[in-house]
Chain A
């Protein structure tokens, strides 16, 4: 678990200092912070979790000069994700797994679990940070960003997470 913690910290630093500034090819926004949100294990009805993610969101907002945006997104995503993961893998397995990674869920399940969360994330970003919601530019940003973020997530997991159940830092 300590190894995962390091990975989480590195990903959040990446979000704040590197990828927050970059828009690849005018359309693609990659968010390592979302990977942290997705990998974070399922805890049933944990109020502490909500507060942790709210504070993390505020921290990101301070660096991004968008007070409330990431806090709002984090809260919505963590709530939605906790409901959604139960639909995908069921209550027993969700309580068992320590990290909701592609290795623990399986490829298909991970796709089913993470892709709607990614889409929701970019929808929220576009609604609150971009101009005129119904435009072709926003539609392209949404689709391209979602797809490339999904591949980014898979890549990071294959690089830095072990494929067995222990999830130690490699």
Chain B
């Protein structure tokens, strides 16, 4: 026993090194651990506070461009309002009932990594839950991943592990978009079979299949199409409408009929 303790004493430095190395590898590989989701991400109390105070300083420098942005958004909404007559009334009604928006400010954002995350200044107190979609007027931003009391982090569209179900507007073809990690302005459009006719400039919008985003939010346009690859699908690049460099205010989508839809679909799978 004494010898064992002596050996441990001699090698205590190496043992500590290996212990810490092993624990950090465990932390790194175990992506969905309890620790990570509750304490060690940027939506926790301390990091959130620091990031939001940093953001409040930076905000002063952006006031002018932000005012401009809000003005543009107002203009767009007023335009929509004025043109309401031309749209069927019942569609608008059902849309109003189903989706509600919660506005939020981005307090931390990155675009230079392969797996980017964004932090928002609102959390479960404000009614945010995991799995909600986040949009702006220019398209989609991502999906809420972790929520704390006052803050929440979301998995950005610029994350190589994030797929969004989409439709090509012209032909209503179901497809998915996924970022390949290179250019923050572009994503790939996946699973478009070669018999479907697509053209450069076609709009891509969200489908309503995953009940995260409302149907019909425009995401981007097709920038280039490569037919000559060894696959049944096209290789398509999309130019995004949303500029992730200057993301400041976003809206979280609250789908009031989400639970109803999921419960109904669950019944289906149970019956099978």
Residues of A within 8 A of B (CB): 17, 20-23, 29, 45-47, 50-51, 54, 57-58, 61-69, 71-72, 75-76, 79, 128-131
Contact = CB atoms under 8 A, between A and B. Distances in A.
A68 B41 contact: no
Interface of B: 12-13, 16-17, 20-21, 24-29, 35-36, 40-42, 44, 46-47, 50-51, 54, 108-110, 112-115, 117, 153, 160, 181
Nearest to B26: A68
A61 B44 CA distance: 12
A126 B40 CA distance: 22
The secondary-structure label for the interface of chain B is helix
Given A50-B20, A75-B21, A62 B41 contact: yes
Contacts of B114: 129-131
B160 A131 contact: yes
A50 B112 CA distance: 29
A57 B181 contact: no
A50 B19 CA distance: 10
A151 to B, nearest CB: 20
A21 B16 contact: no
Q: Which of B12, B17, B24, B29 has most chain A Cβ within 10 Å? A: B24
Contact of B181 (A50, A68, A131): A131
Contacts of B17: 50, 75, 79
Q: Which of A20, A54, A68, A72 has most chain B Cβ within 10 Å? A: A68
Given A47-B13, A50-B20, A129-B115, 12 more contacts: A20-B110, A21-B110, A45-B12, A47-B12, A62-B40, A62-B47, A65-B117, A67-B35, A68-B24, A75-B20, A75-B24, A129-B114
Contacts of A51: 16, 20
20 contacts: A21-B110, A45-B12, A47-B16, A50-B16, A54-B20, A54-B24, A57-B24, A62-B40, A63-B42, A63-B108, A65-B42, A66-B113, A67-B27, A67-B28, A68-B28, A69-B28, A72-B21, A72-B24, A72-B25, A76-B21
